[in-house]
Chains A and B, each alone.
Chain A
Amino acid sequence: RKEVEQDPGPFNVPEGATVAFNCTYSNSASQSFFWYRQDCRKEPKLLMSVYSSGNEDGRFTAQLNRASQYISLLIRDSKLSDSATYLCVVPSSGTYKYIFGTGTRLKVLA
């Protein structure tokens, strides 16, 4: 099993839709989690940090399910500008190694 797994997509959704991505991780000792957004040929930009059960920022909600070892990202009222790749990051417990998933591609359609 990969340390961090994401569905690569693409997820094609209409404007205004609600879309959710999951990210599963193998290290049950992980304590912090991050979602990054990456536009084509650009650097990843921090979207949200998750240290406990979840986090919410405007249209974006991240939730952590420790029992099933996954984190989710929910985007409500999708905008065209939300089109990007969303990367899940799970730091490796006991080391300083950050492990990225392969990313989930989202395309919001007009």
Chain B
Amino acid sequence: ETGVTQSPTHLIKTRGQQVTLRCSSQSGHNTVSWYQQALGQGPQFIFQYYREEENGRGNFPPRFSGLQFPNYSSELNVNALELDDSALYLCASSPRQGTYNEQFFGPGTRLTVL
């Protein structure tokens, strides 16, 4: 069984740029959630995708957007990068939508905004 994978591992961008992060869900999982984790903090929920639609969103501005593809992989796009966007971005997949289901995390993408 293939686990959750993310790419790239690390990324350095400058303020104002745009970035796309990618995630492949675990085999058999159809739901993908994205989180932002700043240093010393717990992960903060950005949004969740199920069947290619966003079905839950945290307190993040519209410049954070996403996509889910028919194979359940997903992208996180961040426009107009700000210094505070520097963080570890985690993708998690689960076998079904719903808050009873366990989520399994990928290794994350570490984004640095200069």
Contact = CB atoms under 8 A, between A and B. Distances in A.
Contacts of B108: 42-43
Given A100-B42, A100-B44, A101-B42, A51 B105 contact: no
Interface string A37-65: 00001111110010100000000000000
Interface in B25-55: 33, 35, 40-45, 48, 50, 55
A12 interface: no
Contact of A97 (B41, B56, B104): B56
A70 interface: no
A96 B100 contact: no
B97 interface: yes
A46 B104 contact: yes
The contact size tier of chain A is: 20 to 34
A45 B35 CA distance: 14
B48 A44 contact: no
B2 interface: no
B103 interface: yes
A49 B102 contact: yes
A66 to B, nearest CB: 16
Contacts of B44: 100
Interface string A83-110: 0000100011101111111110000000
B42 A98 contact: no
A43 B48 contact: no
A108 to B, nearest CB: 20
A49 B108 CA distance: 22
B45 to A, nearest CB: 5
